[in-house]
Each structure stands twice: as C-alpha cells, then as structure tokens.
C-alpha cells in the first residue's frame, strides 16, 4: 500500500512516499507565502518524479505549521508525533529526538515502541530555531549551506549572549565591525543555538541514543556544538530533513 | 442631594429588574459596581484592595471593596488590554510590569475600560501575600488619588509558618483595624466582624464544594466555568449574597452530576490548569480543548480563594485570619505548591497538566518547571507549558499555542490508547 506524508513547515515543505513501510522517495521545496500551494506542489512533484498517479496513494497525512491548510489529506497530525514516529522508523533504538525547525525547536523522548513519552518546545522566542540561523546568515552575507563546514574551522568561537534574534543580529554586526573572523562568529552562533536547545533537551530529560532531525541537522556545526553541550553523541540520518514527512506517511499507513 | 439619591436608587432598582430576567451573576456584579460608583451619594466609603487581601474587616465596616485585579481580568476578557497596556507604556511603565497593574494604572487616568474606570477610592489596602508588584502599584495609585494606603506585610513561607511570622501578621491586623476606624471615623463592631467571618468561611466552603463536583466523571463544569463563577468569592466574600449564589450553583452542579451531564459533551480526557487564565482567550481555549474531548476539570487558580480554610478557626476568624492570609498558594515554597498540585491530580483524576507560563505574573510562573518535574516524577503524567499573558494579547501567538495543544493532546491520546 502506498501512503504519503506532507510536512509543511514555516521555511520548507517536505513530502515522502512509502510503499508498505519502505521509503520510495522524498522531496523538499521552499514553502513561500502560500502553504496550501506548497503542500500541493511538493506532492505533485514527488509523484511525477516517482512516476506515480495521485490515485495510487491510499492515504495521506499532513503535519507542520501548514498541516491544516491542505484539504486533500486524510488527517493532520502535529510534528511531535510525526518526528517521533519517523525517527523510530529510521532507527528503532532511538529514545530521544531533537528537531530544529524554521520557527520551532523541540525535544522529544520516546518509549521503546516509538510512542512519545514527553516533549518540550521552545517558548515564543525564535532564538534557537532555523529562522535565527537565517537572520544571522543574512547579517554575515554568507550562504547558510556553508555554515556548518565553516564553523568547524573556528579556533575561538565568539560569544553571543543575547537571546533576542534582533539583538543577536546587532551583536553579530558589531563583531564584524570589531574584525572578528567569520568562522568564529559562525561558531559562536551555533553555540548560542546549542545553549538554547540543550536547555530544552535537559528540561524534558532526554536519554540516549539521541537523533537530530529537521533541516538544521544538516549543519554539522550545530550538531557538534549540541553534542558538546549535552555531552552525548548525536546521530543524524541522511533523511533528517524529511523525517517528519516520513513519520506522517507511516501514520497514514496505520489509519483505518 | 436626596433627589439624586432617589434617582439613583430608582435606577438601581430598574437595573435589578432588568437583570433578574437575565443572569444572576451579571445582576449581582452590576448592582455591586453601581453601588460602588454611587457610594459617595449613599455616604459609604470605597476601598481598593488586592485580590489576596483580607476583605472581611472592610465588609464589617460597611466599606465597599473594589478589586483592581478583578477589573484587570474584565479588561482582559473584553480584549481592551493591549490598548490600555500601551497607554501605560507611553506613561513610562515597563512592558515587564504585570499587565493588571499596567491596565489599571492606565485606566485610572483615562477612565476607560469596559466599565468606564473603577469608582474612586477613599483608601487603599494592599497585602503583599500575592506578589511584590502590588506594593509599588498601590503606592502609585495612592499618590495619584491622594488617599491613605494600608500595607499588610505577610512574610513568605518557604517552609512552614513560624510563630514570629504569626505574631507579626496578627499585630498588623490591629493596625489594619485602627487604620479603618480612622479613615471611616467610626469604631469597628466586633460582633459584626464575627458574623462577616462566619459568612466568609461559609462562602469558601460552598465554593470548595462547587469545585469538588468536578471530581465526578463527566465533570459538570470546567475550569472555564469556574473562572466565571469565581468573581463573587473574590469580590464579595463575607456577604450573604455569596452564600446564596454558591448554594444555588452547588445544587445546580449536583443536579448535573446526578443526570450525568458534562461540561464537555464527550469527556474523554481530564486536565488540570495552572496559573491565571488567559482572559482574552478563554473561549478559544475552551473550544480548542473541547474539540479534543478534553475537559479542564480543575485549576490551581480558582481554588486559591478557598485553599487556606484549614487554618481558619470558625470561632475566631479574626485571629486565625493572620495565618490563613499568609499561607496562600502564591506565598509558599515550590515544594508545598507541588504537594497541592499532586493532591489535585489525585482528587480530580487528571491525565495531564496545562501550565500557563504567565509573562505578567512572576510569583505564579516561577517554579512551574520544578512543579512539572516533581509531578511528572511522582505521578507520571505529562504537562504542557503555554507561554502567554493573562491580559496582554501581544504575548499570545495562536498558531504556536494551537500546535502545542494539538501535540499535547495527541501524546495524551497515545498514552491512553
Ligand atoms: S504580579 Fe501576579 S499576583 Fe501580582 S498583581 Fe500581577 S497578576 Fe497579581
């Protein structure tokens, strides 16, 4: 049976198609301003890529911020359950998931069956989320994709103390003005995110093995900073970014 | 003068008749505010008092108590909070100041808000058992209205209640009476005080009994209903009208229990609410939870006005009041707060806790993470943290809160399945 999951986030929209518990394919696009259109588009593009007709897909579950905006799905489920389910699918041993999304970061603790035992999400503030990174990349006029690699070359990460995204941005600008190296600033930004997210993880009481999901997991600098802060190794799956969509597709398979 | 009085009385009577047809609570509250607004005409005095302050001596002295915090809640519920908070901010008050204080201070200067401002006070009574904010807030208002201020200082009870603290607070109660006698220009009638004390305790007992009906499955009312019915035990405790109202309400709830009528049509999940309601959003929240078949069956907030009955001596209300008013929920250590929460978890058999981390109210929100941890450890139930503010809607993000509630309810459903 074919099922699909569509994860409409604030920055990117993801889709995954599963055939009887096997991942057939996945796709990521930018969400833009219209989340409904993005959900539709990513699904259609993925179907085309896989050479499938929409009618072949038996069930669809949506998740993410735009989960309720797409009407052609069978059910909308929140990211917490989807990321938990997705992470358990990719590695059944995993007990904790850290997900950093566009405007939300979350720490999830799972039981041995992949059910969510507990979770915590960031407070209203955008510090420690993907958006925070985007703003910083803008301030540095740097490409976000290169952030991870660059930060690994840092010798002395710059201290960024402000919690507020806007104030942190001006801190970064004044660091640039002072002549601080870009790599150290970027490493400092990663440490600041790690500090926020690890507080969240500690609050919910994460237990290893820990996996990181979400687009920010592709950033090796953030992962390294988080490992250092939490004192545990963090796994990153190659499907980190589409983990929520995979989880949604699995939940879709279980729908009656 | 007498003509004005007659006119006002006629107006009040007409209003009473009008509201008799409508709803009892509205009727009582309208008459109460009308009376307070025309107090001067009737030769009575008005005192502004903090929500946790000892109101009984005021009732015994025939002073009309008025609650700026209750007013703040009304401002929040009628979604007028943002405008008034902005006014206060342009007067120079910090956005970090409690939004009850901000909206009340602003309201006094513009006579705005849902009831056109509070009646002018003749005196202020401030008890710091709820927080330290009220001290400065009441000082500001005392200067603004140029009226005398009485401060009742209740030491924080980290653990237990020391004899020294008891003596210290008890001594101040005498000073409180002296203050009232001076401002009112008459002596306290101690027999009347005893009577008021009895009525206050009876009102509290009835209120607790009303809240206890939600231990039934399904709960005949929800915390959202309690937020509404609460107004009387806060503002008018010590008067017969409270006893009458809650007696009727209790009978109504018992009837619902007997008939198996629940506040949420299909109650499957039971939750406990912590902290002051998010006033401008109570309806949205109640619908949101009801859509998940979840009922908020109890809360730490409305039960605060009957939470220290165990310290009250029925036959000596006045003396025992010192302890009862000092050991309220916001004036005790986190460990004891957690014990109270666990007691409620057991009593109302809840599946989870919804905590409102209230940007305004620091004493209520501080310690929530610890309480969360303790309850999770001892009872193994999950809790949700919602970041918001009781009045200032600028601190509320609907889509974020919706996602958290949906996720929390999914987790609870998953656990119960
Ligand atoms: S800080 Fe809290 S306790 Fe103090 S007045 Fe404000 S809401 Fe009430």
Asked if A105 and A135 sit in the same domain, the reply is yes
Distances (CA, A) of A45 to A17, A29, B41: 12, 10, 76
- Confidence grade of residue A124 (pLDDT, cut at 50, 70, 90): low
Range of the structural domain that residue A109 is part of: 95-236
Among the candidates B171, B188, B205, a domain finishes at: B188
The CATH number covering residue A27 comes to 3.30.420.40
Domain total of chain B: 2
**Same domain, residue pair A63 and A116:** no
CA–centroid distance, B218 to ligand 1, in Å, is: 32
CA of A243 to the centre of ligand 1 (A): 43
Which residue puts its alpha carbon closest to atom 4 of ligand 1? B131
Q: Which two tokens stand for residue B323?
A: 């302890």
Flag if B406 and A79 touch (Cβ within 8 Å). no
Task: Give the pLDDT of residue B7.
Answer: 65
Please check whether residues A229 and A109 belong to one and the same domain.
yes
Q: Looking at residues A228-238, what average pLDDT do you find?
A: 92
pLDDT surpassing 90 at residue A127: no
Residue A203 to residues A107, B193, B370, Cα–Cα distance (Å) = 9, 49, 10
**Confidence (pLDDT) at B19:** 47
Q: Which of A78, A116, A118 sits opposite B406 (nearest CB)?
A: A78
**Distance, in angstroms, between B272 CA and closest chain A CA?**
17
Nearest-angstrom CA–CA distance, B172 and B164: 13
pTM for the full predicted model: 0.86
Q: In which band, very low, low, confident or very high, does the pLDDT at A181 lie, cut at 50, 70 and 90?
A: confident
Residues A14 and A79 grouped into a single domain: yes
Same domain, A79 and A104: no
Contact B407 A120 (CB under 8 A): no
Work out the widest C-alpha separation in chain B, in whole angstroms: 70
* Contact across the interface for A115 and B415, Cβ inside 8 Å: yes
A99 and A16 inside one domain: no
Domain residues for the domain of B34 are 2-188
Q: Identify the residues whose C-beta falls under 6 Å from ligand 1.
A: B 69, 98, 100, 130-131, 133-134, 276, 360-361, 363-364
Together in a domain, A41 and A82: yes
User: Which ligand 1 atom sits nearest the alpha carbon of residue B134?
Assistant: 5
The C-alpha of B412 sits at a distance from chain A's nearest C-alpha, in angstroms, of 9
- Residues B199, B175 share a domain: no
In this structure, the answer to whether residues A193 and A113 fall within a common structural domain is: yes
Both B217 and B359 in one domain: the answer is yes
Kindly report the CATH number assigned to the domain that includes residue B42.
3.40.50.11890
Low-confidence stretches of chain B (pLDDT beneath 50): 1, 19, 21
State pLDDT tens for residues A62-99: 999 899 999 999 999 999 999 999 999 999 999 999 99
Q: Nearest CA to B157 among B401, B329, B403?
A: B329
State which of B134, B153, B188 marks the end of a domain: B188
**Domain match, B165 and B201 both:** no
Same domain flag for A127 and A39: no
B95 in A contact zone (CB under 8 Å): no
Q: Could you give the ipTM of this predicted complex?
A: 0.77
Place of tokens 């809607």: B393
Closest CA relative to residue B81, chosen from B50, B112, B118, B121: B112
Most confident of the ranges A42-51, A192-201, B170-179: B170-179
- CATH code assigned at B374: 3.40.50.11900
Q: Do residues A150 and A215 share a domain?
A: yes
Q: How confident is the model at residue A182 (pLDDT cuts 50, 70, 90)?
A: confident
pLDDT at site B132:
94
Report how far residue B123's alpha carbon sits from residue B184's, in angstroms, rounded to the nearest whole number: 10
Do B200 and B174 share a structural domain?
no
Q: Tell me, what's the pLDDT at B14? A: 61
- All residues at 6 or more sequence positions from B21 whose CB lies less than 8 Å from its CB, including other chains: none
Final residue before a domain boundary, out of B188, B215, B239: B188
Q: pLDDT, tens digit, for every residue of A132-174? A: 888 888 888 777 777 888 888 888 888 887 777 778 888 888 8
């Amino acid at each position: 049976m074919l099922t699909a999951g569509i994860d409409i986030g604030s920055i990117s929209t993801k889709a995954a198609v599963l055939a009887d518990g096997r991942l057939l394919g996945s796709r990521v696009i930018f969400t833009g301003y219209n989340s409904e259109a993005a959900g539709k588009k990513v699904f259609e593009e993925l179907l085309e890529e896989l050479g499938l007709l929409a009618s072949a897909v038996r069930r669809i579950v949506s998740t993410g911020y735009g989960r309720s905006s797409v009407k052609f799905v069978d059910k909308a489920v929140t990211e917490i359950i989807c990321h938990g389910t997705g992470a358990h699918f990719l590695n059944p041993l995993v007990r904790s998931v850290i997900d950093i999304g566009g405007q939300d970061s979350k720490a999830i603790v799972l039981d041995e069956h992949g059910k969510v035992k507990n979770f915590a999400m960031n407070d209203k503030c955008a510090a420690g989320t993907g958006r925070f990174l985007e703003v910083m990349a803008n301030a540095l006029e740097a490409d976000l994709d290169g952030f991870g690699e660059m930060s690994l070359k840092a010798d002395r990460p710059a201290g960024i103390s402000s919690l507020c995204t806007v104030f942190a941005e001006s801190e970064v600008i004044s660091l640039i003005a002072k002549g601080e190296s870009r790599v150290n600033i970027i490493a400092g930004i990663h440490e600041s995110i790690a500090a926020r997210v690890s507080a969240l993880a500690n609050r919910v009481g994460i237990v290893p093995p820990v996996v990181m999901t979400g687009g920010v997991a592709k950033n090796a600098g953030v992962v390294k900073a988080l490992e250092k802060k939490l004192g545990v190794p963090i796994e990153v799956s190659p499907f980190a970014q589409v983990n929520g969509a995979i989880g949604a597709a699995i939940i879709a398979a279980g729908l009656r | 003068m007498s003509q004005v009085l007659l006119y006002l009385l006629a107006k009040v009577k007409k209003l009473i008749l009008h509201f008799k047809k409508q709803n009892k609570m509205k009727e009582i509250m309208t008459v109460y505010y009308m009376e307070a607004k025309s107090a001067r005409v009737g030769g009575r005095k008005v005192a502004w008092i903090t929500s946790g302050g000892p109101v009984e001596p005021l009732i015994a002295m025939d002073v009309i108590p008025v609650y700026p915090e209750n007013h703040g809640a009304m401002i929040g519920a009628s979604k007028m909070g943002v405008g008034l908070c902005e006014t206060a901010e342009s007067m120079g008050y910090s956005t970090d100041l409690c939004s009850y204080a901000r909206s009340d201070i602003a309201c006094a200067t513009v006579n705005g808000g849902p009831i056109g401002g509070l009646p002018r006070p003749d005196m202020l009574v401030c008890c710091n058992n709820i927080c330290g904010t009220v001290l400065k807030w009441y000082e500001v208002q005392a200067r603004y209205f140029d009226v005398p201020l009485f401060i009742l200082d209740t030491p924080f009870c980290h653990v237990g209640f020391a004899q020294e603290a008891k003596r210290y607070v008890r001594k101040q109660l005498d000073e409180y009476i002296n203050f009232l006698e001076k401002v009112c220009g008459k002596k306290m009638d101690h027999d009347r005080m005893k009577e008021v004390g009895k009525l206050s305790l009876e009102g509290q007992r009835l209120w607790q009994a009303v809240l206890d009906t939600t231990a039934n499955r399904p709960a005949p009312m929800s915390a959202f209903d309690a937020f509404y019915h609460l107004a009387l035990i806060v503002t008018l405790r010590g008067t017969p009208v409270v006893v009458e109202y809650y007696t009727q309400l209790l009978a109504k709830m018992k009837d619902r229990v007997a008939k198996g009528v629940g506040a949420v049509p299909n109650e499957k999940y039971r939750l406990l609410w912590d902290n002051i309601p998010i006033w401008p959003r109570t309806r949205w929240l109640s619908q949101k939870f009801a859509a998940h078949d979840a009922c908020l069956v109890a809360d730490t907030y409305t039960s605060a006005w009957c939470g220290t009955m165990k310290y009250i001596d029925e036959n000596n209300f006045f003396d025992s009041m010192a302890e009862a008013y000092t050991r309220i929920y916001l004036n005790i250590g986190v460990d004891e707060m957690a014990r109270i929460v666990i007691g409620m978890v057991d009593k109302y058999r809840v599946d989870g806790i919804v905590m409102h981390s209230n940007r305004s109210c620091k004493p209520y929100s501080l310690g929530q993470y610890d309480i969360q941890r303790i309850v999770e450890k001892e009872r193994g139930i999950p809790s949700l943290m919602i970041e918001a503010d009781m009045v200032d809607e600028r601190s509320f993000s609907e889509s974020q809160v919706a996602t958290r509630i949906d996720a929390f309810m999914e987790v609870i459903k998953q656990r119960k399945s």
